């Protein structure tokens, strides 16, 4: 475990806490203990250090990948036709219709307004794909495969629709990040 904490020091200041890094490093140490083969000519501490580092790097990548979609509503996304600063909150609306089920789950959803998507020139199918893909209706995002099965088109066609729709939104709102 001293080796784990020694390696964790190298990653100080990363997006994860020291405890999370040490936890990932411990998993790497366990993997090293289970897979070490002395016949390969390496010493256990050298092998373990490599396994610990790999496990920590995988944990950091996973964390960054899953938190990359985080966006602030106060992020500037460009300017409107009059030259005024345009914020993400300007093109989003809040759904405040609270049913009994929603109150129980305490879900408040932020929905990109259909009106802003229509202003960007998106068609009904494109709007539906984006709403399903990013969970703008239910709060849960769907995979392209699930959307293709629901709508009755191929997964690759869903991907093309999504990419074209995002491109139109970016062009219309100059750097809109979804």
The answer to whether the CB of 78 falls within 8 A of the CB of 173 is yes
4-32 pLDDT tens trace: 999 999 888 778 888 889 999 999 999 99
- Do 101 and 130 lie in one domain? The reply is yes
Determine, yes or no, domain membership for 88. Answer: yes
124-158 pLDDT tens trace: 898 888 888 877 777 788 888 989 998 899 988 99
Determine, yes or no, domain membership for 178. Answer: no
Q: Which of 67, 87, 107 is the last residue of a domain?
A: 67
> Domain span at residue 62?
2-67
Determine, yes or no, domain membership for 22. Answer: yes
| Cα→Cα distances 6→3, 48, 64, 147, Å | 5, 12, 23, 46
SS3 state at 124:
helix
Q: Which of 47, 67, 87 is the last residue of a domain?
A: 67
For the chain, the domain total comes to 2
- Do 159 and 81 lie in one domain? The reply is yes
């Amino acid at each position: 475990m001293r080796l784990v904490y020694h390696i964790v020091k190298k990653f100080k200041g990363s997006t994860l806490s020291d405890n999370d890094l040490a936890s990932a490093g411990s998993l790497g140490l366990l993997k090293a203990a289970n897979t070490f083969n002395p016949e390969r000519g390496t010493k256990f501490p050298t092998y373990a250090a490599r396994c610990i580092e790999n496990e920590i790097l995988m944990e950091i990548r996973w964390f960054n990948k899953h938190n990359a979609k985080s966006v602030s509503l106060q992020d500037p996304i460009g300017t409107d036709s009059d030259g005024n600063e345009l914020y993400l909150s300007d093109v989003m609306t809040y759904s405040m219709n609270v049913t009994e089920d929603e109150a129980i789950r305490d879900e408040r959803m932020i929905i990109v307004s259909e009106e802003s998507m229509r202003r960007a020139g998106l068609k009904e199918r494109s709007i539906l794909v984006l709403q399903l893909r990013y969970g703008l209706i239910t709060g849960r995002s769907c995979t392209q495969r699930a959307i293709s099965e629901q709508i009755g088109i191929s997964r690759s066609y869903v991907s093309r629709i999504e990419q074209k729709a995002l491109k139109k939104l970016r062009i219309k709102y100059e750097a809109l990040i979804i």
